[in-house]
Amino acid sequence: MKNKGCMSAGTIGIALLIIVAVLFFWGKNGYNNFVTKEQNINTKWSNVETVYQKRANLIPNLERTVKSYSKFEQETLTKVIEARSKATSINIDPTNLTEADLAKFQAAQGELSGALSRLMAVVESYPNLKADQQYINFQREFIAIENSIRTETVYYNSAAQEYNTSIKTFPNNILANFTNFKEKPYFKAAAGAEKAPEVFTE
């Protein structure tokens, strides 16, 4: 009877060791998986910031080109410059990105988009400016960057969805809560964003 009891204790001990080992490897693999997916989101966010910065970098050249036409509406250009300043002043920490952070970033970028759209609509009334080679170059670059912005935000949302699904599904959600991995926000389409902007005419 005594030996049987010892064997039972040994069996229990082995079983506990197996359970601990399984939990350890599950936890390690799950944690590493979260880290990999979060790093992927950070990379996608960096790409988003890069294309928005490229757009902002176009504006000084646009400003110089437009200013060469003395009769152009100065207030319209000033709105673009102010919106650019606001958009580039927002610093986002991708490792701690919240819904409020992303909403603030999108609002500032949306304000710049609106100011640019209004400026380009006004340019239509200035045939010489519209035909200026520097302005034509701006148009070409602007269109390419706008397409890149749409592409990179889609890539970011896809990476965020993959990460969020990973940390919210059972039993990963237990590990995610314990290790403080939090859900990432998504870019939300602005009203009418499904339609391509018609800011240029031939």
**Domains of the chain in sequence order:** 44-178 (1.20.1440.20)
Work out the number of other CB atoms within 10 angstroms of the CB of residue 47: 17
Q: What is the pLDDT of residue 3?
A: 53
Q: What is the pLDDT of residue 193?
A: 46
Q: What is the pLDDT of residue 6?
A: 52
Q: What is the pLDDT of residue 190?
A: 67
CA angle 52, 144, 184 (to 5 degrees): 40
Distance, in Å, from the CA atom of 27 to the CA atom of 174, rounded to the nearest integer, reads: 10
Q: What is the pLDDT of residue 1?
A: 47
Tokens found for residue 180: 């403080």
Distance, in Å, from the CA atom of 194 to the CA atom of 191, rounded to the nearest integer, reads: 8
Tokens found for residue 199: 């800011």
**193, 110 Cβ separation under 8 angstroms:** no
Q: What is the pLDDT of residue 197?
A: 43
**For residue 18, how far is the Cα from the chain centroid?**
42
Digitized pLDDT (tens) for each residue of the chain, 202 residues in all:
455 555 577 788 888 888 887 887 778 888 999 999 999 999 999 999 999 999 999 999 999 999 888 778 889 999 999 999 999 999 999 888 999 999 999 999 999 999 999 999 999 999 999 999 999 999 999 999 999 999 999 999 999 999 999 999 999 999 999 899 999 999 987 654 444 444 444 4
**pTM of this prediction exceeds 0.75:** yes
